[in-house]
Amino acid sequence: MATTQLEVQKIASRYAKALFDHVLGLDGGSVGETTQNLMAWFGVLAEVLADHPELVAFLNNPTVDGTQKLNMIGDSFKAETVAMLPPFLKLVAENDRLSMLPAIGQQFCALVDEAKRIKDAYVTVPIELTKTLAARFETRLKEAFELSDVRLHVTVDPDVIAGAIVRIGDQLIDGSAAGKLRQISKQVG
């Protein structure tokens, strides 16, 4: 039976949460070295799998034994560099979920970001931001959302006219002139 993207995310979320809670315990209740090492490991895994679709096909192949998949991942991605990773991977393999490792990694990194109060902010502006203006955006967003850090993703769209449109988490702030004109048009019309 095929697994939908939503089901993959739900399953991956459970594994990521269990791994995160376990690692948090190893790191003394805060995001520490083990957590950082795991994030780096998942990052390398995601990069390699993105560049090599044949590895993704291998992990998704139901005729390949879980032990073979586990050995390939352990050998290729130096799983032993993070002490608790081999037992976790073994558990994932036993439950035939190794193909979900990229999704587990994404969920794990999202939990780490949440714990560290880091968010991605998607900003749409009419012109390219200078470094000074980008830094000002980051500072204001950190203050407004009480974050320790913001990863700014800037898109230039001349249709914005002036101001900016900011999406951070599930919030959308339309401070653009075009957005204000739309609001006025709705009120008048």
pLDDT tens-digit map of 133-159: 999 999 999 999 999 999 999 999 988
How far is residue 164's CA from residue 10's CA, in Å, rounded to a whole number?
34
17 with 109, same domain?
Answer: yes
Q: Which of these three, 93, 114, 135, is where a domain ends?
A: 114
106 with 155, same domain?
Answer: no
What does the radius of gyration of the chain's CA atoms come to, in whole angstroms? 21
Q: Provide the domain limits for residue 9.
A: 5-114
Q: Is 174 left (phi over 0), alpha (psi -120 to 50) or beta?
A: beta
94 with 124, same domain?
Answer: no
26 with 95, same domain?
Answer: yes
- pTM attached to this predicted model: 0.78
pLDDT range class, residue 80, cuts 50, 70, 90? low
53 with 94, same domain?
Answer: yes
104 with 146, same domain?
Answer: no
The predicted model gives 73-79 an average pLDDT of 72
Q: Quick one: how far is CA 114 from the chain centroid?
A: 10
Q: Which of these three, 114, 134, 159, is where a domain ends?
A: 114
**103 pLDDT above the threshold of 60:** yes
**1 pLDDT above the threshold of 60:** no
98 with 18, same domain?
Answer: yes
Q: Which of these three, 91, 114, 137, is where a domain ends?
A: 114
Structurally, how many domains does the chain consist of? 2
61 with 42, same domain?
Answer: yes
What φ, ψ does residue 155 adopt, rounded to 5°?
A: -120, 135
CA-based nearest residue to 107, from 5, 4, 1, 2: 5
**5 pLDDT above the threshold of 90:** no
Angle between helices 5-26 and 85-94 (to 10 degrees): 150
